[in-house]
A = this chain, B = another copy of it.
């Protein structure tokens, strides 16, 4: 059951970073969400929309569901912060963020160790035969690092 052990390790790293990021967003008031993480850099609300969209994208990539919030992509994926002026409210984004985290936790826990080692949906069978490390678990590991990267920025937001 080595597969099970690997999956547990990767899921644990995801959970640790996920919980810390959820706590970091929760600790910010709606006003603080509009603060920049550093002068001239992304605002916290941009990171909230960005992480929600990136996490939502994991659903089709891992073959565990369809996108819930594709409407976020224009403001939070395709464009830099402050490019699109009309973005959802903090309340709406917080709701999406809480929901996508719950959905992913539920679906991640339903995937079997064997499924985690299958190819993700944008890989061809031919490529996967050559590069078996580009599996669903690799997506999880990569997105965990992406989460940690932005968590490091989020904790810089000045409070109070």
User: Which residues of A approach B to under 8 Å, CB–CB?
Assistant: 2-3, 5-6, 8-10, 12-13, 16-17, 37-41, 117, 132-133, 135, 137-138, 141-142, 144-146, 148-153, 156, 158
Residues of B within 8 A of A141 (CB): 9-10, 13, 141
Write 27 A-B pairs (CB below 8 A) sorted by A numbering: A5-B117, A5-B132, A6-B6, A6-B137, A9-B137, A9-B138, A9-B141, A10-B141, A12-B138, A13-B141, A13-B145, A16-B145, A37-B38, A37-B156, A38-B38, A41-B156, A144-B145, A145-B145, A145-B148, A148-B148, A148-B149, A148-B152, A149-B149, A151-B152, A152-B152, A153-B153, A156-B156
Residues of B within 8 A of A17 (CB): 145
CB distance from A151 to the nearest CB of B (A): 6
CB distance from A136 to the nearest CB of B (A): 11
Q: How far is the CA of A9 from the CA of B10 in the complex (A)?
A: 11
Known: A5-B133, A9-B133, A9-B141. 18 other contacts (CB 8 A): A2-B2, A9-B137, A12-B138, A13-B141, A13-B142, A38-B38, A38-B39, A38-B156, A144-B145, A145-B148, A148-B149, A148-B152, A149-B149, A149-B151, A150-B152, A152-B152, A153-B156, A156-B156
